[in-house]
């Protein structure tokens, strides 16, 4: 096994989160295809990328073990459905110019994860964690006033990804990131085919080849770039302490938030700043709690 190297781990981890953070730019360039078709090609080319990597590594055993074990395989099925829901909502949000709200979804995701842990795993929270959850709820109330309705896109992204994480945790870390992604995207292929057929019936139709080589290459590239950061993240986790990985998870929504303000010029009224400020305060409390608990061990 390769010796742990913090510098190498940070390089892998930062690269993964930078790629994830750049997705709004990629999706915007591909908006000619429409959100439903974009997700189809993301699944297809993501699966092909994972399959090639597994083929090169000849790492099939883990996949067969999981597929023969219904107790594990059912969680792969659940996670497959949830990740597709998450991807579809996310792409729709970006195409419809809701980049700020999509970044909010991933900012509040850790708070939703904690809430799910209390409800489903019966975990007990520290005072700081309870305070963080309370600030998160207050933020949602403030943003509901700002938007005139609950921030449904953000909440949908946060809940779908948090429940996805819960389903993945049931696998107990027994499946590598690449194999898990290959299984999930492979299971989604029939759904993607049906979705592509529905797209073909729309007035726009399938646009994969209608925008020339670069249009098709861009759609394929997005699928490839779905798999690449997962691999980089898996490598980073091998070299870094968990607390480093925990802090880095905020990079992606932070990058997206900055892009929303500077590139996409989305509005950010005062009330929205207050709502986001409450979310960021909640995340600071979670970070302090994480450092305190790690230091006490």
pLDDT (tens digit, 9 = 90+) per residue, 6-47? 788 888 888 988 999 999 999 999 999 999 999 999 999 999
Neighbour-count burial for 152-163, b at 16+ CB within 10 Å, e otherwise: ebbbbbbbbbbb
pLDDT (tens digit, 9 = 90+) per residue, 235-282? 776 777 655 666 777 889 999 999 999 999 999 999 999 999 999 999
Q: Directed axis angle between helix 61-68 and helix 177-201, to 10°?
A: 70
The mean per-residue pLDDT over the stretch 172-180 comes to 76
The mean per-residue pLDDT over the stretch 224-244 comes to 77
Tell me, what's the pLDDT at 224? 93
Q: Is the pTM of this model over 0.75?
A: yes
Place of tokens 């590594």: 57
Q: Regarding predicted confidence, which is higher, 167 or 38?
A: 38
pLDDT at residue 146 greater than cutoff 50: yes
Tell me, what DSSP letter sits at residue 4?
Answer: P
Tell me, what DSSP letter sits at residue 3?
Answer: P
Cα distances (angstroms) measured from residue 196 to each of 45, 52, 204, 262 = 14, 23, 12, 34
Place of tokens 């790690």: 294
Q: Where are the domains of the chain?
A: 6-296
Q: With beta carbons less than 8 A apart as the criterion, state whether 206 and 196 touch.
A: yes
Q: What's the mean per-residue pLDDT of the chain?
A: 87
Tell me, what's the pLDDT at 110? 86
pLDDT (tens digit, 9 = 90+) per residue, 116-126? 878 877 778 88
Tell me, what's the pLDDT at 112? 87
Tell me, what's the pLDDT at 3? 65
Both structure tokens of 50: 């994972």
């Amino acid at each position: 096994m390769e010796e742990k190297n913090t510098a190498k781990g940070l390089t892998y981890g930062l690269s993964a989160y930078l790629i994830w953070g750049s997705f709004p730019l990629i999706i915007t360039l591909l908006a000619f295809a429409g959100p439903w078709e974009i997700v189809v090609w993301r699944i297809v080319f993501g699966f092909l990328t994972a399959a090639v990597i597994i083929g090169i590594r000849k790492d099939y055993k883990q996949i067969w073990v999981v597929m023969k074990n219904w107790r594990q395989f059912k969680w792969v099925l659940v996670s497959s459905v949830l990740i597709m829901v998450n991807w579809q909502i996310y792409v729709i949000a970006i195409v419809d110019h809701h980049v700020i709200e999509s970044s909010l979804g991933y900012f509040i995701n850790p708070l939703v994860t904690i809430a799910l842990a209390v409800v489903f795993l019966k975990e007990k929270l520290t005072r700081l964690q309870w305070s963080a959850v309370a600030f998160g709820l207050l933020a949602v109330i403030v943003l509901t006033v700002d938007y005139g309705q609950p921030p449904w896109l953000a909440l949908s992204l946060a809940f779908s990804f948090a429940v996805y994480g819960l389903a993945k945790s049931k696998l107990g870390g027994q499946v590598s990131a690449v194999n898990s992604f290959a299984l999930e995207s492979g299971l989604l292929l029939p759904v993607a085919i049906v979705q592509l057929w529905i797209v073909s019936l729309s007035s726009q139709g399938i646009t994969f080849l209608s925008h020339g080589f670069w249009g098709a290459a861009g759609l394929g590239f997005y699928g490839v770039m779905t798999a690449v950061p997962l691999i980089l993240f898996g490598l980073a986790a091998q070299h870094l302490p968990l607390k480093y990985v925990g802090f880095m998870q905020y990079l992606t929504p932070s990058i997206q938030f900055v892009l929303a303000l500077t590139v996409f010029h989305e509005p950010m009224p005062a009330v929205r700043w207050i709502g986001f400020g409450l979310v960021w305060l909640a995340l600071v409390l979670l970070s302090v709690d994480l450092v305190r608990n790690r230091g006490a061990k």
